[in-house]
Amino acid sequence: MTRYENPALTVDAVWIRRGRVLLVRRGRPPFVGQWAFPGGFVELRETVESAVVRELHEETGLSARPVGIVGVYSGPDRDPRKPTATVAFRMRGRGGPPHGRDDAREAAWVPLGEVGPLAFDHGRILKDALALERRRRRARSG
């Protein structure tokens, strides 16, 4: 039987609410101590949609649902552990105070104007999510 080496599938939760974005401070390598989106690896027999809901809850204690896709991001160097492909979802929910759990040392609603460098390629994902939000607002008002 032929054995293929494939990238790992991951998900990221991009939740922007009231001028803030939900981020977690990583508690494990890589990028220990840096801010990132809640997210992680998709488990066997799990959809990407259920994985992003699970990861968000595991890392922040919050519940939300995916309402759209920001994009799919891939590449051999986006994660130093191994090649990955991620589906970044826009999330919606009730909000509330997040609590860093699982492999997140801390979780917080960070004002968009105060977001510094993010782990992985999450800065690019945030930029794309904000551009998507601007396009959606223009379409609604136009």
For residue 71, the 8-state DSSP code is E
3 state SS of 53? helix
Catalytic residue, chosen from 49, 58, 106, 133, is: 106
Is 106 among the catalytic positions?
Answer: yes
Closest listed residue to residue 91, CA positions, set 119, 121, 59: 59
Taking CA atoms, 60 is separated from 19, 41, 53, 125, 134, in Å, by 18, 16, 11, 19, 26
Residues tagged active-site: 106
